[in-house]
Amino acid sequence: MRFITLFLFCSIFACKNEKQVSSSPPLPQASEKIKVASSLFEKPFYASPPSSALLEKLKIHEEAYEANPDDLEKNIWYGRFIAYTGDYPKAIAFYTKAINQFPEDPRLLRHRGHRYLSIRAFDKAIADFEKAETLIAGTENEIEPDGMPNAQNIPVSTLHGNIYYHLGLAHYLKNDLQKALTGFEKCRDSWSNDDNKVSSTHWIYMILKRMGKDEEAEKALQIISKEMNIIENFTYHKLCLFYKNEMTIEELTTGDSGAAATDDATNYGLGNWYYYNGQKERAHAIFDKITNGDSWNSFGFIAAEADLFNNF
């Protein structure tokens, strides 16, 4: 009798553990180095080992999801934190399962599309963002909470804005400038805060300059001023002021500490400025420097890579 009881207990325990392991992706370990993407030139990219603090937060969201896998919000947040570890294929696989469960929610498509951009699957990203765009048609815009809050802990982006922004970027990376322009203009018009204005106007200006529409490009900068209340997108604000000739190259490329700016967004904006002003050799040198760096998942890096692939 004792043997039968022990056998049943062990069987139940084993089944419970098997269910827990199989119902969600295994957590990455802090020491793991996982290939998660390839460049447009077939260079492999690896996820940086996640910090223990990030893994702890991921575990919290995993447990919340495991406790209620039918809760849409828990699906969204668990997927976001899987992506924050850098394992984008795993995040995409998780979001795909969630989209099958909640096919009418645009947020899942917006987040999966973002991670398709990260792995250079631009056509799949466009398909997700375009479907998300149809799902938000006629709906009221809403603030999108930050997974990694800014210094003031004030979210500066919205669901509609993020869908249009990433859709515009996906088309830009495919070198479809007209569709890219439409996406970023919709992003600019979706929300009135200054962070949204500078981030969208930065891309709008660059696209119009590449299209040879100089007067329209200058007109797009009219909403930009030094007095804007920027909470997060300081780089885009500085770039827009640079485009308006209200900031020098030295001011643009020098940080508050006096050191040279090394962020990909600044460097890409400057390289692009050289590109559409006819200095393609200088642009190529900057794009090449960006793509020899380590931040392969930043939008500045991906844009520089796409330019080297499409335009040189």
DSSP letters for 161-193 = HHHHHHHHHHHHHTT-HHHHHHHHHHHHHH--S
pLDDT of 13:
39
- Residue 195 predicted with pLDDT over 50: yes
The more confident residue out of 190 and 27 is 190
Give CA–CA dist 224/233, Å, rounded: 13
Q: Is residue 153 part of a domain?
A: no
List phi, psi (to 5°) of 236: -65, -35
Amino acid identity at 98: A
Q: Is residue 15 part of a domain?
A: no
**Mean predicted confidence (pLDDT) in 223-245:** 97
- Residue 31 predicted with pLDDT over 70: no
pLDDT of 34:
80
**Mean predicted confidence (pLDDT) in 194-218:** 98
The domain in which residue 303 lies consists of: 248-312
Give CA–CA dist 134/19, Å, rounded: 36
Q: Is residue 310 part of a domain?
A: yes
Tally of domains in the chain: 1
Give CA–CA dist 67/62, Å, rounded: 9
Q: Is residue 267 part of a domain?
A: yes
Q: Is residue 297 part of a domain?
A: yes
- Residue 297 predicted with pLDDT over 70: yes
Question: Of 47-51, 75-79, 306-310, which range is least confident?
Answer: 47-51
